[in-house]
Amino acid sequence: MTQQDISCGLEYSLTPDIQECVSEALQANYSFIVTPLIHPRFRRPYLPHRIPAGGFTRSDMILSPQDWTNRIVARVSPYLTVDAPSPVVQKRHEYYLHEELLYCRGLGVPAVMISLNSKHNTNLARILQTYQETSNFPTLIWTCVPMFCKRTLRNSEDLEDNKCDVAYNETWYWWSRFHQNMNWDKRVGVVLEISADLPSNDIIKRWLGEPVKAIILPTHIFHNNKKGYPVLSRAHQQLVVSMVERDAQVIVSGARRSNIEYYLQYLFRLWQRRPADTPMFSFARGWEDYLQTPLQPLADNLDTHTYNVFEKDPIKYNQYQNAIVKALADLQKKNSCQHTLDKESLITNIKIEKGQGDSESDAKTPVTVMVLGAGRGPLVRATLNAAEMTNTEVKIIAVEKNPGAVVVLAAQVRELWCDRDVTVVPGDMRYMNLSPKADIIVSELLGSWADNELSPECLDGATCLLKPNGISIPCKYTSYVNPISSSRLWAAAKIACLGDSQKMEKNLETLWVVYMQNKHDIAECREVFKFSHPAEGIKNSEGETMLDYRGLPLTDNRRKTTVSWEVTQDNVMHGFAGYFDCALYGDEMLSIVPSTHSPGMISWFPVFIPIKTPLRIHKGDKIKATFWRCVDSRRVWYEWIVEVNDNATVLHNPNGRSSEMLL
């Protein structure tokens, strides 16, 4: 939540005295009013070609400019139906609508509210796009739709569940098609008029994925509690909180059955009583649906601010420490077994060179732990802690390629870790040969989509640093996706500026890191790519692992995976949400997959993987997505394609033309 409190407005269906209405609403602590622009006193001429001398509404002098630009949401006359079947009516209403829109532009109101009353809105979409095209300052368009379409029930005797679903589905279609006609313009939002009965959870969730700018609460859906104050049903309370969490404002509308202040006070209380924010939620405040290009820590060097943010994670390094503790403990166990075995063999073979042998085998060889990509040292710290906890002697080698971070590491070795065995080795882990080899390598090279910061390539390149049967922390990671609907993310990706304006296709062929808020999950998460370390090499026909020119196992980090889902609800697919999880060691995990998210961990936002043209999908459809991870000598990139029944998208990012990770 960016706002600390609910922002509420009050709707007036008639404002004979607009000044008085604004005063009343502000006095009752409402932030704005929703009001028709046309003064009821002004009857408009039958024919638009004569301008009435009296103008068509009140003078704009009666409110201050600040009030117009801050306090007024202008509602277009609800009787205007520019998609009416009669061409005469249509043309007349077009003229009036145009007149009202131009008036709104002149007044500088922050938003114009327009109601959809049927599925026919193409002409409305056309007029509004012309309005936006010809405006210097874009006005927000608030498209008002009821949650429930009574009309679809008109012919049915009763409210069977089935029919109700149709009625709730209907109005979503009005909005969704209209928004599609507007090319998912992000200046166009929806205002949802809440009904007394609520639809199924699935339908509510779908609405939560739409850019809902406000919800209208008619006073008749409140009931009075014992003390006579207006309150909402539990289901309605939940809906309001979910909506406000996604930045929706609330508009109270309809006949006043109670003091108008009471509604607002109730809503404020409702908001204050909501469950506390999760750490991630607090951390992400202000970053909701804000797209960032993924980091390229291999090609670029991270800056100090980025390190600052990542080192703050309260959970991540804890998990690493636990994993290192377990790994050290297991090593100790193994070594002591080995030790016992050695001793036993010595005994059975009768003593040879006694005296020397005993003292040597009892002296502990320190465990060599290499921290690959040590940054400013958080994993060195975790290793030192783990060593203390397990009472292990460790020799730590911290490899880091970023000279800026090496400075910090070296300073810490001098000042903090002077009594410990920590060595800093500057350089790229892929092109290094160190001795002794490591018992354990520890790294944190994962991006939001697991391998997208090239962890596989880095760790494969560092294989020669690890003893045979050595331990890699992490040892396994997997990327995940699920198809989502989010016009907001899609529109944001479309117009995002990537510098090179020539390459228009770039934007929708790129992975974006983003804390997603305004999205709807069309289906559950599925695995995409899996990697494990040390990686298994490619085997030849005789079953032997093949080696490269440096004698390292030949690995193949290219991948191709096809994932599919059955769709359970009509929807519009705009792309995928991408996540990862990772096994550090044993059962110590890190996860940003929603269902298994490591509690409290804040280091990674998910990724948004857009598709070029949103796909309309229907209940029962099968979505089939294929992802490729491609590798050449210089870079790594993803390509993807989506098929829905017999339809398909184009191939995204062929040959990495729009986005790539440099090796």
**Which residues have a catalytic role annotated?**
444, 453
Please report, as a single letter, which amino acid is at residue 432: M
Integer-rounded Cα Rg, in Å, for the chain is 32
Q: Are 177 and 130 in contact (CB under 8 A)?
A: no
Q: Which is nearer to a copy of itself, 242 or 561 (CB)?
A: 561
Residue 429, annotated as binding a ligand: yes
Q: Distance between CA atoms of 613 and 628, rounded to whole angstroms? A: 19
Q: Are 530 and 593 in contact (CB under 8 A)?
A: no
Based on the shown chain and the rule CB under 8 A, indicate whether residue 183 belongs to the binding site for a copy of itself: yes
Per-residue binding string, a copy of itself, 66-95, x by CB under 8 A, is: ---------------------x--xx----
Q: Which of 608, 643, 621 is nearest to 487 (CA)?
A: 608
Cα pseudo-dihedral 503, 507, 509, 515, rounded to 10: 160
Q: Which is nearer to a copy of itself, 126 or 274 (CB)?
A: 126
Buried b (16+ CB within 10 A) or exposed e, 356-383: eeeeeeeeeeebbbbbbbbbbbbbbbbb
Q: Which long-range contacts (CB under 8 A, 24 or more apart) does 309-316 make?
A: 310/375, 310/603, 311/375, 311/376, 311/378, 312/602, 313/601, 313/602, 313/603, 314/279, 314/600, 314/601, 314/602, 315/598, 315/599, 315/600, 315/601, 315/602, 316/444, 316/590, 316/598, 316/601, 316/603
Residue in the structure block whose two tokens are 């797209």: 291
Q: Are 623 and 649 in contact (CB under 8 A)?
A: no
In the region spanning residues 621 to 660, those forming contacts with a copy of itself, defined by CB under 8 A, are 626, 628, 630, 639, 641, 643, 646-648, 650-651, 654-655, 657
Residue 400, annotated as binding a ligand: yes
Based on the shown chain and the rule CB under 8 A, indicate whether residue 541 belongs to the binding site for a copy of itself: yes
Q: Which of 511, 481, 516, 487 is nearest to 652 (CA)?
A: 511
Based on the shown chain and the rule CB under 8 A, indicate whether residue 502 belongs to the binding site for a copy of itself: yes
Q: Which is nearer to a copy of itself, 421 or 505 (CB)?
A: 505
One residue of 556, 564, 566, 620 binding a copy of itself per CB under 8 A: 556
Please report, as a single letter, which amino acid is at residue 565: W
Q: Which is nearer to a copy of itself, 66 or 501 (CB)?
A: 501
Q: Which stretch binds a copy of itself (CB under 8 A): 179-187, 296-304, 345-353, 422-430?
A: 179-187
| CB of residue 132 to a copy of itself, shortest distance in Å | 8
Based on the shown chain and the rule CB under 8 A, indicate whether residue 540 belongs to the binding site for a copy of itself: yes
Per-residue binding string, a copy of itself, 577-616, x by CB under 8 A, is: ------------------------------------x--x
| CB of residue 203 to a copy of itself, shortest distance in Å | 16
One residue of 256, 257, 550, 558 binding a copy of itself per CB under 8 A: 558
DSSP 89: H
Q: Which is nearer to a copy of itself, 46 or 414 (CB)?
A: 46
Q: Are 206 and 571 in contact (CB under 8 A)?
A: yes
| CB of residue 141 to a copy of itself, shortest distance in Å | 14
How far, rounded to the nearest angstrom, does the alpha carbon of residue 557 sit from its chain's CA centroid?
27
| CB of residue 116 to a copy of itself, shortest distance in Å | 14
Number of Cβ atoms within 10 Å of the Cβ of 338: 11
Q: Which is nearer to a copy of itself, 343 or 616 (CB)?
A: 616
| DSSP run (H or E) holding 370 | strand 367-372
Q: Which is nearer to a copy of itself, 238 or 626 (CB)?
A: 626
Q: Which is nearer to a copy of itself, 51 or 196 (CB)?
A: 51
One residue of 151, 257, 312, 560 binding a copy of itself per CB under 8 A: 560
Residue in the structure block whose two tokens are 């096809």: 562
One residue of 166, 546, 596, 662 binding a copy of itself per CB under 8 A: 546
Q: How many residues bind a copy of itself (CB under 8 A)?
A: 50
| CB of residue 529 to a copy of itself, shortest distance in Å | 12
One residue of 287, 570, 586, 594 binding a copy of itself per CB under 8 A: 570
Q: Distance between CA atoms of 587 and 4, rounded to whole angstroms? A: 39
Burial class (CB in 10 A: 0-12, 13-18, 19+), 274: middle
| CB of residue 461 to a copy of itself, shortest distance in Å | 18
One residue of 221, 554, 597, 600 binding a copy of itself per CB under 8 A: 554
Q: Are 276 and 430 in contact (CB under 8 A)?
A: no
Contacts of 193 (CB under 8 A, 6+ apart): 144, 145, 146, 147, 215, 216, 218, 253
In the region spanning residues 3 to 62, those forming contacts with a copy of itself, defined by CB under 8 A, are 46-47, 49
Q: Which is nearer to a copy of itself, 419 or 646 (CB)?
A: 646
Residue 245, annotated as binding a ligand: no
Please report, as a single letter, which amino acid is at residue 333: K
Per-residue binding string, a copy of itself, 112-151, x by CB under 8 A, is: ----------xx-xx--xx-xxx-----------------
Per-residue binding string, a copy of itself, 415-454, x by CB under 8 A, is: ----------------------------------------
Residue 317, annotated as binding a ligand: yes
394-400 and 367-372 strand pairing = parallel
Contact residues: a copy of itself, CB under 8 A: 46-47, 49, 87, 90-91, 122-123, 125-126, 129-130, 132-134, 173, 177, 180-183, 501-502, 504, 538, 540-541, 546, 554, 556, 558, 560, 570, 613, 616, 618, 626, 628, 630, 639, 641, 643, 646-648, 650-651, 654-655, 657
The annotated binding site for S-adenosyl-L-methionine is made up of 307, 316-317, 400, 428-429
The annotated binding site is made up of 307, 316-317, 400, 428-429
